[in-house]
Amino acid sequence: MWTPLSQCTRSAKLPSGSERSGAGLSSRAVVLARVRSLGWHGPLLALSFLAFWVPWAPAGLQFLLCLCLYDGFLTLVDLHHHALLADLALSAHDRTHLNFYCSLFSAAGSLSVFASYAFWNKEDFSSFRTFCVALATGSGLGFVGATRLLRRRVEVAGREPVCPDLAVDSSLCGEELPVGGEEVGSITLGQYLWQLAHHRNFLWFVGMDLVQVFHCHFNSNFFPLFLEHLLSDHISLSMGSFLLGISYVAPHLNNLYFLPLCRRWGVYSVVRGLFLLKLGLSLLMLLAGPDRPGLLCLFIARYALLSLTPTFLSHSFTLACFLSTGSNRVFTEGTCKLLTLVVTDLVDEDLVLNHRKQAASALLFGMVALVTKPGQTFAPLLGTWLLCFYTGHDLFQQPPLTSVGSAQPWPEPPAPPRAQAPSLRQGCFYLLVLVPITCALLQLFTWSKFMLHGKRLHMVKAQRQNLAQAQTLDIKTV
């Protein structure tokens, strides 16, 4: 949790020597600083991943240190990478264009999940460690090569008299727009937090995103459990591994379809449609139950359709579980990928509302990550407790729960009588459909209060573009 906060503090441009003296940075210099940071932190992220699989310390200490290092470098890479989306492009069309290629190459990178199965052997880790070394080496070299190419491209864009396609913001080409002067340098973190507390669209967005983060991590944590208890009788172990792997690739592939829709209808409408789709699918699964296979077949996930067998198709309860487990996870993860575009719009509105000279992109992304962090923490805890409360089964114990005293981090859930207690399979099914229904209702309410779309979004975009052009003309006149 400290990593987003420390990154926020560095990005806030709190008063220090250069800011107080009026020396500023250009937008192009900010982009170059982010690219250089990615060039350093990316290989370190790959190295911290590799440190998990090579023994070099006592197991407990190694796990603790590697977890902290990996989470820290991953947060830094995510912050700078997302902030670049707001810094490199201004129009919604160009940002969705960049996000399209980001999803395309993310899907290609996720294919390493399938390659790992060929090397995994729980009795002998040597081949898997070799695979991890190759993967970490390729990732580190990829970070270095990509950041060098991007840095060279931005430097060339700054020297060209005509603004190229890469630089939509006028401050990235031709004359440089100095920022970080008196106004930016004098702001403190407390003042910035006060400004965010009065930014209504930001507050409604983080409320919605908190539920989204909770739902994404709920799916990530319980997806293997649902496969085991709902589908283990109908799919092989290798098919379960395939479905688990494809669930990480499919959200990126879905975005290749959703992003063109965002360019046509706007991100707000597409995200609202995905919330409605999540609610509709979950309600249909809840109402259909085990006796309506026709309705369930209509909503089978696209990537799963080819793997269904006739016996699998004949079980309506299995179909319901498979649909909710597969398509719900894919659409939920896909929505998370689209919300990056919404944060970039909030960066623009924050700059216009508070008359900033520099867009605080990394700061805003860091604050969103910090505020929504509890959703990641409480997803496995609340899901485990709800399953235990409903069925009387503890996931960490095979027999039903018995009273063991009051020293519990959660209130002891009253276990139903043994004859009436629902099975763990039935409890997983209801947890699978009721959690998305609750999340979708909360998100539809908070999303309806979010006003940064339509005419207001066009006005914010126009004001930011005019502000950048006006300041650039002032520099040319001087």
What 3-state DSSP class applies to 160? coil
pLDDT tier, 469 (very low <50, low <70, confident <90, very high otherwise): low
Strands (E), 290-394: none
pLDDT at 300: 35
> CA 354, CA 460: separation in Å to the nearest integer?
12
Residue 115 C-alpha from the chain's centroid = 23
DSSP classification of residue 289: G
Beta-bridge mates of residue 179: 25
Predicted pLDDT of residue 29 = 81
pLDDT tens digits, 13-43: 433 333 333 334 457 788 888 899 999 999 9
pLDDT at position 260 is 87
User: Which one is predicted more confidently, 151 or 314?
Assistant: 151
Taking the C-alpha atoms of residue 351 and residue 98, their distance in angstroms, rounded to an integer, is 21
CA-based radius of gyration for the chain: 25
Each as own residue / partner, the long-range contacts of residues 219-227 (CB below 8 Å, 24 or more positions apart, any chain) are 219/328, 219/329, 219/332, 219/333, 220/379, 221/379, 221/380, 221/383, 222/380, 222/383, 222/428, 222/431, 222/432, 223/247, 223/325, 223/329, 225/395, 225/428, 226/321, 226/325, 226/428, 226/432, 227/325
Which tens digits make up the pLDDT trace of 147-179?
999 999 888 876 665 444 444 444 455 434 344
Which among 113-117, 153-157, 264-268, 335-339 has the top mean pLDDT? 264-268
| Mean per-residue pLDDT, 42-46 | 93
How far apart (Å, rounded) are the C-alpha atoms in residues 302 and 320?
14
Distance CA 411, CA 389 (A): 10
Range from 44-48, 133-137, 327-331, 457-461 carrying the lowest mean pLDDT: 327-331
Q: Which region among 93-107, 317-331, 462-476 has the lowest average model confidence (pLDDT)? A: 317-331
Single-letter amino acid code for the residue at 84: L
- Residue 438's pLDDT is 93
Are the C-beta atoms of residues 446 and 204 closer than 8 Å to each other? yes
If you average pLDDT over residues 349-355, what whole number do you get?
Answer: 89
All residues at 6 or more sequence positions from 313 whose CB lies less than 8 Å from its CB, including other chains = 293, 297, 319
**At residue 391, does pLDDT exceed 60?**
yes
Percent of the chain with pLDDT over 70: 67
Q: Which of 106-115, 188-197, 219-228, 344-353 has the lowest mean pLDDT?
A: 219-228
Over residues 77-96, the mean pLDDT reads 86
What's the pLDDT band for 236 if we cut at 50, 70, 90?
Answer: low
pLDDT band of 412, cuts 50, 70, 90: low
Residues composing the chain: 478
**Mean per-residue pLDDT over the chain, rounded:** 74
Place 146 in a pLDDT band, splitting at 50, 70 and 90: very high
- Rounded Cα gap, residues 84 and 23, in angstroms: 22
pLDDT bucket at 11, cuts 50 / 70 / 90: very low
